[in-house]
């Protein structure tokens, strides 16, 4: 499970980064009076690519295929084998023998949240609630990805299942939160923001003309 959770962390991190970049670019467009009301096939294409990619990314994390390495399968395995996710193993990951009382109590309290106070192993009902939350939150995105992104279903998207950007944001928040939680549970390490930090000024490219003046004259 440790290997799975690290794979999922990397995948979710990439998706959140793409989400961040897309909305940063939208802000750049909205804040430029020359672009805010402009019509362009490029803008339409960018939006279509983002929606398809984002929906597929959510679908990957809620895939029920037995060969998938995804958040849904991780939670399913944690629920079905909760008895092997023990307090003693968790504490061995994150508490050194010489740790002070505060650190030990902090980690004991973290496991209490998953097992009940003093519980020896993970409570499967805790995982079941997380699994239900994720599936309920992601269902409209998953439906759209199945009916329109993975293939074009002739029956179309069910009218009351057409997702919004808010549905996508909600799905991402739940997926990120559960990735943080189960990463901590299986590695003893709290990862904070799953989204990687871009360490260079990536928006600088938008301060430059993309088509040189001479080329524009030709066109």
Has residue 6 been placed in a domain?
A: yes
Range with top average pLDDT, 103-112, 133-142, 146-155:
133-142
For residues 52-71, average pLDDT? 93
| Structural element, H or E, at residue 15 | helix 2-30
Has residue 110 been placed in a domain?
A: no
**Arithmetic mean of pLDDT over the chain:** 90
Judge contact between 183 and 86, C-beta under 8 A: no
Has residue 72 been placed in a domain?
A: yes
- pLDDT band at 161; cut points 50, 70, 90: confident
The pLDDT tens digits for 4-25 are 999 999 999 999 999 999 999 9
Q: Which residue segment(s) compose the domain that 9 sits in? A: 2-85+122-186
pLDDT recorded at residue 37: 87
Has residue 211 been placed in a domain?
A: no
Has residue 133 been placed in a domain?
A: yes
CA distances from 2 to 24, 45, 63, 120 (A): 33, 38, 19, 20
Q: Is 172 exposed, middle or buried (0-12, 13-18, 19+ CB in 10 A)?
A: buried
The pLDDT tens digits for 64-107 are 888 899 999 999 999 999 999 999 999 998 877 666 777 788 89
Question: What is the number of structural domains in the chain?
Answer: 1
Evaluate if residue 154 carries a pLDDT over 80. no
């Amino acid at each position: 499970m440790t290997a799975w959770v690290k794979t999922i962390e990397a995948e979710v991190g990439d998706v959140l980064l793409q989400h961040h970049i897309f909305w940063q670019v939208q802000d750049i467009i909205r804040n430029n009076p020359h672009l805010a009301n402009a019509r362009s096939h490029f803008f339409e294409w960018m939006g279509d690519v983002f929606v398809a990619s984002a929906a597929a990314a959510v679908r990957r994390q809620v895939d029920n295929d037995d060969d998938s390495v995804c958040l849904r399968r991780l939670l399913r395995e944690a629920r079905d084998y909760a008895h092997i996710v023990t307090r003693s193993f968790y504490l061995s990951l994150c508490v050194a023998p010489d740790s002070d009382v505060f650190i030990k109590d902090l980690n004991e309290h973290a496991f209490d949240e998953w097992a009940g106070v003093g519980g020896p192993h993970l409570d499967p009902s805790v995982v079941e609630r997380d699994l239900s939350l994720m599936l309920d939150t992601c269902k409209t995105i998953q439906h759209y990805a199945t009916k329109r992104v993975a293939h074009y279903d002739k029956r179309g998207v069910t009218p009351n299942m057409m997702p919004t950007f808010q549905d996508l944001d909600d799905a991402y928040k739940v997926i990120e939160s559960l990735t943080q939680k189960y990463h901590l549970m299986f590695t003893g390490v709290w990862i904070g923001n799953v989204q990687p930090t871009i360490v260079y000024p990536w928006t600088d490219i938008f301060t430059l003309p993309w088509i040189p003046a001479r080329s524009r004259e030709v066109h």
